[in-house]
Amino acid sequence: MTTLLRRIPFLLVLMLAFGAGYLLHTPDSRTHAGGGYAAHVLTLKEDAGPAAVVADPDGDPTIVVVLRPGDRVLRTRGAIAVLDEGVYIPVYTATGIEGWLLDGEAITEEINPVFTTGSAMGEGARLRVKDEGAGTLCYSDPTFQSEDVHTLNTDTDITITGPPYQAELGLWWPVQVNDADICWIYDTPEHFAVMG
């Protein structure tokens, strides 16, 4: 019995150390895991107008990025900011920009969503760049942080060569441009016409 009593403080210290270690190594909510982001994803509704992400609504209202309908951002772990004009949510964009987005009816929120495209884009599909997609970049890897290897102009034909890859709050498609090497486009159906 005395041996057991002597071991209790040691076991308590061990449990506390393990618990602290676990908390310190808990992955950030932006960590890519299991083909997606395990966090709250906010989507600007398709029928909404543009929405601004600001640097700091309480101190620096400079617009850092303008979201278009359908754009997605990740809600970060920070606290919300309640101001006269409304509630601001701390967000992280697919391009790595952090800022604040005004909450409202134009935003939908999902937890651990599985993203799918609403268009006929799919493996083997031939696409043609529409006027709205002129200037779309095709990247070396499925991330906005990689090198852009092609700038797509209006009426450029591309072919989707494989399945989509989920990263940075959405889907990426591997495509071939003019018989060149494979590069990656971000899933933006309104930029492309599906030819077949």
Over residues 39-85, the pLDDT tens digits come to 577 888 888 889 999 999 988 889 998 888 888 887 876 788 999 98
Total-model pTM: 0.50
CA–CA distance, 102 with 57 (Å, rounded to integer): 9
Question: Percentage of the chain with pLDDT > 90?
Answer: 30
pLDDT of residue 7: 55
CB 161 within 8 A of CB 182: yes
* Domain segments of the chain as ranges: 35-111, 126-194
Does 171 or 147 have the greater pLDDT score? 147
pLDDT of residue 120: 74
Beta-strand pair 60-67/51-56: antiparallel
How does 87-114 read in b/e, with b if 16+ C-beta sit within 10 Å?
ebbbbbbbeeebbbbbbeebbeeeeebe
Which one is the CATH code of 35-111: 3.40.630.40, 1.10.4190.10, 2.40.10.120, 2.30.30.40?
A: 2.30.30.40
Which one is the CATH code of 126-194: 1.10.3470, 3.40.140, 2.40.420, 2.30.30?
A: 2.30.30
